Amino acid sequence: MAHVSIESLEKKYSPKAPAAVESLDLEIKEGEFLTLLGPSGCGKTTTLRCVAGLERPTGGRVSIGGKVVDDPAHRTHIAPDKRDIGMVFQSYALWPHMSVASNVAYPLKMRKIGIDERARRVREALDMVGLSEYSSRMATDLSGGQQQRVALARALVATPQLLLFDEPLSNLDARLRQDMRSELREMHKRVGTTSIYVTHDQEEAVSLSTRIVLLNKGAIEQVGSPREIYWHPVSHFVADFVGYDNFIEGTVVGADQYGVKVLLEGTEMRLVCPPRNDVHEGQRVDVAVRSSSVILGPPAADKPNAFEGLITDVMYLGDDFIYELQLGPHKVTVSIRTAEVANIWPTGAPKVGDTISGAISPDSLACLPALHANVPAMA
């Protein structure tokens, strides 16, 4: 297991192009499972490939296990195969002319490990990914999920100090992806190898990681535990990325250690949001709300963030109903499980034109610096 240190990492693919990664600082602790998350083109793969040694940084420094592996200012570059890392890619990158066992044995052969020791370790690695029975099959005679397991066994077999994953599940179908996600989590619990994982899938990141780094245009937007990223986004970009789907403009009318009170624009409605010490009274903000976090039910004026809204649209999606509500000048979408509808409205589901009520738990809101802070408030 290794500690990884990334200091002021910069990667420019050409002198004139904007940097793919810029001034990136990151410390990855021993045994962590850290995910680089973000939309296409934000620099996740470039960062990972710089750690792997497959790309050469144009600035900064990368160290693995206390050893500097890249430092362009001092012309240091250690080749990927000398970094003691295991890699799993989106394309399984198996040798098609080799059996499963030979594919897995390959890194050991490169390290000149003796044949008996090699056979033992291959058996162990295949056991770990549940493929012991397939060892003599040709690698290409396996399903996509099985091939990815072979790739994982190959990454694990040499017990590297660091594992790197580049979107390893994105070629698999949804069901298999879910199974593999659980297996990866189990594997990490068992072997505890420091891991860096790249994905653009927030669910994958939240379910696998001990820490998530959200990247935007080659720079870090937020670093935190899955819970912090999911429930306490610091910016619009992060909130949007992790599934907040309503953004309501307002003005801070109170902020203390208990919470931030926001008066929603064009209404008398105040929403209490979790505390945030970088906002002040009078500041324009946006309140981010997940449609699935709104609780509909009978009027509950005594509850925090109780509201009433006019239904302007209803969509049925099988498992869920989506209601579009008008709250003053704001349109807010609310989703509710179909199975819940009869519990909440025993006399029948509400329709367009009805007014319904509910409440939003303060913990499920995020008060964010306004995206359009310079736009004057509408009269």
Ligand X SMILES: Nc1ncnc2c1ncn2[C@@H]1O[C@H](COP(=O)(O)OP(=O)(O)OP(=O)(O)O)[C@@H](O)[C@H]1O
Under rule CB under 6 A, residue 193 binds ligand X: no
**Least Cβ distance, residue 215 to ligand X (angstroms):** 7
Q: Which residues of 28-64 are buried (b: 16+ CB within 10 A; e: fewer)?
A: beeebbbbbbbeeebbbbbbbbbbbbebebbbbbbbb
Q: Which of residues 273-292 bind ligand X (CB under 6 A)?
A: none
Question: Which residue in the set 22, 28, 35, 45 belongs to the binding site for ligand X (CB under 6 A)?
Answer: 45
Question: Which residue in the set 6, 22, 38, 107 belongs to the binding site for ligand X (CB under 6 A)?
Answer: 38
**Least Cβ distance, residue 113 to ligand X (angstroms):** 33
Question: Which residue in the set 2, 33, 37, 44 belongs to the binding site for ligand X (CB under 6 A)?
Answer: 44
**Least Cβ distance, residue 4 to ligand X (angstroms):** 17
Give me the torsion for CA of 240, 243, 247, 252, rounded to 10°.
-90
**Least Cβ distance, residue 139 to ligand X (angstroms):** 25
Q: Which is nearer to ligand X, 46 or 135 (CB)?
A: 46
Q: Which is nearer to ligand X, 43 or 60 (CB)?
A: 43
Q: What is the CB-side half-sphere exposure of residue 17 using CA atoms within 13 A?
A: 12
Contact between residue 146 and residue 110 where contact means Cβ atoms under 8 Å apart: no
Q: Which is nearer to ligand X, 24 or 285 (CB)?
A: 24
Long-range contacts of 273-281 (CB under 8 A, 24+ apart): 273/362, 273/365, 273/366, 273/367, 274/232, 274/362, 274/363, 274/365, 274/366, 274/367, 276/367, 279/252, 279/255, 279/367, 279/369, 280/252, 280/255, 281/252, 281/253, 281/254, 281/255
Under rule CB under 6 A, residue 217 binds ligand X: no
Q: Tokens at residue 251, please?
A: 């003005």
Q: Which is nearer to ligand X, 43 or 160 (CB)?
A: 43
Under rule CB under 6 A, residue 41 binds ligand X: yes
Q: How many residues bind ligand X (CB under 6 A)?
A: 11
Q: Which stretch binds ligand X (CB under 6 A): 37-45, 79-87, 93-101, 153-161?
A: 37-45
Contact pattern for ligand X over residues 145 through 184, marking x by CB under 6 A: ----------------------------------------
Residues engaged in binding ligand X (CB under 6 A)? 13, 20, 38, 40-46, 200
